[in-house]
Amino acid sequence: MAQLTVAVLGLDRLGASIALRLRTYAEKGGQHRFDLIGYDSRDDFEKPARKLKVFDKVERHAESAVESADLVVMNLPYEDLRAGYEIVSTSLRDGVVILDTAVMKQPSFRWAEEFLSDEHHLIGFTPVVNADYLLEHQLSPEQAADDYFHRSAIYLTPSVDSIKEAIDLAVNFALILDGKPHFLDPAEHDSLTTITEEIPQVLSIAAYSAAMKHQAWGDAQRLTNPPFAVLTRYLLTHHPDALRDEWLENSDSLARAIDELVAILNDLRDRLAEKDESAIEAFLIGASDDYQEWINKRHKGDWGEQPASRAQYDGSISGMLFGSAISRRFFGGSKDGDK
């Protein structure tokens, strides 16, 4: 049995759900035990996370949160991420494994190379939420759930330099969260998030900008109901600096995706101008049928995948880590001299 200290930096719904799942796992007789330390600089996340009483301690400084950690979940907002790596770099212990949940993985590996030592091991870690929560968009830790990742994919994006022990630990951690670990190359991961993360952001903000510039906005803004608020929520949940950096980091891929989106909108505009009922109906029915197929697959988690695309699990955490600072930290050996 391993006793691990896990620091979660970033206590939004995802970060709090990770901690809640670890706590539930241990309480239900899981093989491993966890000391949970949290950190968030945002009062609207930090205070509710304290009230959850899931964490053994919630620190007010990131450096304090990680100094005793065996594993760090790096879940900071994107605009704070580079500074976060720099701030914690001198407080991390040798052998620590860092699981990075950022929407973009390639920048994190660059920052890790800039600030971290060879004894700090970064693995990209992207949990996909349980389909039961797919249409919910609240980010508060008060919405955390211990089944937030139940039977959903968790994408691991190691670098070519990642050591096996760190990858194995990430696989096991994903399984403890009740997820299904898969591997992706960091560049491939970032190209896919263009479609699933950044195009929704672009649509959200473009829709608000178009409404704001419309000549009737002065009156229309009073007539705003949930459909408009849900569509434009990225302006509430994401800092402009984070969106700017994400978009520029992935600019080529995002520009191509926007071209494809504009082509569809232009075609739809033409069909509407022509009052082409059959074309509009075909457009809507085609999208609706495909959506139903996708949402059903998403709930079932059935993608017809090949076994090789999934990470394989072949033992406990303690059975996987050998001959490194990681194994010494978790399963014995002197801690003297470690940070």
Residues 23 and 143 placed together within one structural domain of the fold: yes
User: With a cut of 50, which residues of the chain have pLDDT below it?
Assistant: 307-308, 313-324, 329-339
Domain encompassing residue 235: 189-300
Residues 52 and 201 placed together within one structural domain of the fold: no
Residues 258 and 207 placed together within one structural domain of the fold: yes
What's the number of domains the chain is made of?
A: 2
The residue assigned the tokens 């966890």 is 34
Residues 133 and 195 placed together within one structural domain of the fold: no
Residues 171 and 247 placed together within one structural domain of the fold: no
Residues 72 and 132 placed together within one structural domain of the fold: yes
The CATH number of the domain holding residue 110 is 3.40.50.720
Residues 209 and 124 placed together within one structural domain of the fold: no
Residues 175 and 216 placed together within one structural domain of the fold: no
Q: What pLDDT, on a 0 to 100 scale, did the predictor assign at position 35? A: 96
Residues 226 and 290 placed together within one structural domain of the fold: yes
> What are the tens digits of pLDDT across the range 212-239?
999 999 999 999 999 999 999 999 999 9
Q: What pLDDT, on a 0 to 100 scale, did the predictor assign at position 304? A: 76
Residues 54 and 144 placed together within one structural domain of the fold: yes
| % the chain with pLDDT above 90 | 85
CB-CB contact of 40 with 103 (8 Å): no
CB-CB contact of 39 with 9 (8 Å): yes
Residues 64 and 177 placed together within one structural domain of the fold: yes
CA separation for the pair 311, 319 (Å, rounded): 16
Residues 177 and 258 placed together within one structural domain of the fold: no
Angle at 183 between CA 102 and CA 122, to 5 degrees: 45
**324 inside domain:** yes
